[in-house]
């Protein structure tokens, strides 16, 4: 099977959109990710997948911390900003349990790196949850290579 067919098959699974953030020497660094899931309730663990060549990966390895910011339906601009697709002048940061987070998230999760597993061209980071904040907004959805709204 070729890469394009595999990517097309994966695009048929609708996902939410997250921005991962960490802080290195007072600077905030982030990336857009849709490979995110809960792993365990006891202890509270989540997983994110980060490409091994991503600039963000060594930063998370260095800090041992990251936040997951699940974006609301009106924040596609943040997703594109942290995916390097366009500059957004509308990026506001705050903190949750000492970690940078973006404003405009429907849920924010502060994590310590609990474990890492290299799998192919990506690494799966298991985050031990420090804290969460949740709002009642609708999520930004990614499906077939584009942003969608829930009906």
d(CA 68, CA 18): 6
**pLDDT of the residue at 103:** 85
CATH of the domain at 14: 2.30.110.10
H or E element: which one contains 73? none
Report the half-sphere exposure of 113 (CA within 13 A, side-chain side): 21
Average model confidence (pLDDT) across the chain: 94
pLDDT tens track for 20-46: 999 999 999 999 999 999 999 999 999
Residue 88 has pLDDT above 90, yes or no: no
Total number of domains in the chain: 1
Report the share of the chain in percent with pLDDT over 70: 100
**pLDDT of the residue at 150:** 79
pTM above 0.85, yes or no: yes
Report the half-sphere exposure of 84 (CA within 13 A, side-chain side): 6
Residue 57 three-state SS: helix
Report the pLDDT averaged over residues 75-104.
90
**pLDDT of the residue at 149:** 84
Report whether 6 contacts 13 (CB < 8 A). no
**pLDDT of the residue at 136:** 92
Domain, as residue range, for 109: 3-149
**pLDDT of the residue at 62:** 97
Residue 81 has pLDDT above 90, yes or no: yes
Where is average pLDDT lowest: 5-14, 33-42, 52-61, 81-90?
A: 81-90
Residue 113 has pLDDT above 80, yes or no: yes
């Amino acid at each position: 099977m070729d890469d394009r067919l595999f990517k097309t098959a994966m695009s048929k699974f609708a996902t939410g959109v997250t921005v991962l953030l960490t802080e290195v020497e007072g600077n905030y660094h982030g990336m857009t990710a849709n490979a995110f899931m809960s792993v365990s309730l006891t202890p509270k663990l989540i997983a994110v997948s980060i490409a091994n060549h991503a600039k963000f990966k060594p930063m998370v390895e260095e800090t041992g911390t990251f936040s997951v910011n699940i974006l609301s339906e009106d924040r596609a601009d943040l997703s594109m900003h942290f995916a390097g697709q366009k500059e957004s002048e509308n990026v506001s940061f705050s903190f949750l349990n000492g970690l940078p987070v973006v404003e405009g998230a429907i849920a924010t999760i502060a994590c310590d790196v609990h474990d890492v597993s290299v799998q192919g061209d990506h690494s799966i980071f298991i985050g031990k949850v420090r804290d969460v904040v949740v709002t009642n907004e609708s999520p930004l959805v990614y499906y077939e290579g584009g942003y969608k709204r829930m009906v």
